[in-house]
Amino acid sequence: MSVAVIDCGTNSTRLLVVDDEGATLAREMTITRLGQEVATTGQLHPDALQRVYACLVRYRAIMDSFDVSSGTLVATSAARDARNGPEFVAECERITGVRAQLLSGAAEATASYIGATADLPDDSRPSMIIDIGGGSTELAVVLHGEFIAHSMQLGCVRVSESHLGSGRLTADARQAAERMIATELDGLFTSEPRFQDAIGAVRLIGLAGTIATLAQLDVGVSEYARELVHHHVLSRFVVEHWTEVLGAELPAQRLARPGMVPGREDVLVGGLLVLGAVMDRFAISELLSSECDILDGVAAQLQGRAPKELS
């Protein structure tokens, strides 16, 4: 039976429809910025709610075109942090007709890991995923036979709204953002010391909007082409290059670049700062981008295709 998975993230709302063998029938992404001002108000903004609800009505129509009646909707960082998150989830369930749930950071990391590691080329190193969202960043890896995961209060929207604003990247703003990121990384190793064993020892797999957009910029394609960006190698040099290039521009200038996704031009630099800091802390020189992510992981869990220890 075909199933649908909807991910209501901090910056985007996405849909995946797969058939009973896991083959993709539809994949959609809409920038909705659910996390607008959540970090400062603790509430989901009325305008943001309406953007997401309108998107979900459209997604329900797509689901109907594939006769999908089974599925799930997951809401992540912004909805987790907001006081009106439960009310938002209830309305999402009403609109879509599928079960909706607030996903914990650990559950988000698990689903992202399942999705991103399902079709990787062979490598002798353990694969660690980094999922940079709008409001949170998840890391997950299997080390010494144990699955470990952690969710940090870092994301492209959160970092941008907290310290970067919507203009050019200044030295002071960058330093403030990097202090914020360093504090969260310190907390990562305090909360989950086993991540120390990942330093210099893992292959990094990057997923979600920040890394997908970075891959498109690096390839230089104006139109999305999955075959060009899925499993594209991105070096630490490339991450820093685009941080500096985009940081020197205004959002409107960034938007004119081939590969820039509308709706990410004002927050991408914040996500790149998170990515660069994680690569430095874990002594990683390059990463592999993945177009498979939490949507694929949740679908695999729903259909019983996920590894038993992670389902």
Look up residue 34 and give its two tokens.
């659910």
**Cα-based angle 178, 181, 182 (whole degrees, multiple of 5):** 85
Does residue 185 share a domain with residue 53? no
CATH code of 42's domain: 3.30.420.40
Asked if the structure places residue 298 within a domain, the reply is no
Does residue 188 share a domain with residue 233? yes
Look up residue 49 and give its two tokens.
């709610």
pLDDT of residue 311: 64
Asked if the structure places residue 80 within a domain, the reply is yes
Cβ-contact 139, 128 below 8 angstroms: yes
Domain that holds residue 65: 3-103
Does residue 70 share a domain with residue 135? no
Does residue 147 share a domain with residue 34? no
User: Which of the 8 DSSP states describes residue 115?
Assistant: H
Does residue 228 share a domain with residue 289? yes
CB-count burial class (<10 Å; 0-12, 13-18, 19+) for 233: exposed
Does residue 90 share a domain with residue 134? no
User: Which of the 8 DSSP states describes residue 163?
Assistant: I
Does residue 166 share a domain with residue 205? yes
Does residue 181 share a domain with residue 249? yes
Cβ-contact 108, 139 below 8 angstroms: no
Domain boundary among 62, 86, 103: 103
**Cα-based angle 95, 24, 139 (whole degrees, multiple of 5):** 80
pTM score: 0.92
Question: Which residues are CB-neighbours of 143 under 8 A, at least 6 positions away?
Answer: 126, 194, 197, 198
Domain boundary among 75, 103, 131: 103
Asked if the structure places residue 40 within a domain, the reply is yes
Beta strand 203-207 with 127-132 is parallel
Task: Give me the residues paired with residue 53 across strands.
Answer: none
Separation CA 96–CA 182 (nearest Å): 39
Sequential pLDDT tens for the chain (311 residues) = 789 999 999 999 999 999 988 999 999 999 999 999 998 999 999 999 999 999 999 999 999 999 998 999 999 989 999 999 999 999 999 999 999 999 998 999 999 999 999 999 899 999 999 999 998 999 999 999 999 999 999 999 999 999 998 899 999 999 999 999 999 999 999 999 999 999 999 999 999 999 999 999 999 988 888 899 999 999 999 999 999 999 999 999 999 999 999 999 999 999 999 999 999 999 999 999 999 999 999 999 999 898 877 86
Separation CA 274–CA 43 (nearest Å): 24
Beta strand 99-102 with 203-207 is unpaired
Does residue 174 share a domain with residue 284? yes
pLDDT of residue 69: 80
Asked if the structure places residue 301 within a domain, the reply is no
Separation CA 211–CA 201 (nearest Å): 21
Domain boundary among 103, 134, 169: 103
Asked if the structure places residue 303 within a domain, the reply is no
- Counted domains in the chain: 2
CATH code of 267's domain: 3.30.420.150
Question: Which residues are CB-neighbours of 216 under 8 A, at least 6 positions away?
Answer: 224, 229, 258, 259, 260, 261
Does residue 142 share a domain with residue 44? no
pLDDT of residue 224: 84
Asked if the structure places residue 310 within a domain, the reply is no
Asked if the structure places residue 304 within a domain, the reply is no
Asked if the structure places residue 305 within a domain, the reply is no
C-alpha closest to that of 205 among 230, 176, 237, 240: 230
Does residue 254 share a domain with residue 220? yes
CA dist 191 to 109, 134, 279, Å?
15, 22, 19
Does residue 282 share a domain with residue 212? yes
Question: Which residues are CB-neighbours of 231 under 8 A, at least 6 positions away?
Answer: 120, 121, 288, 289, 290
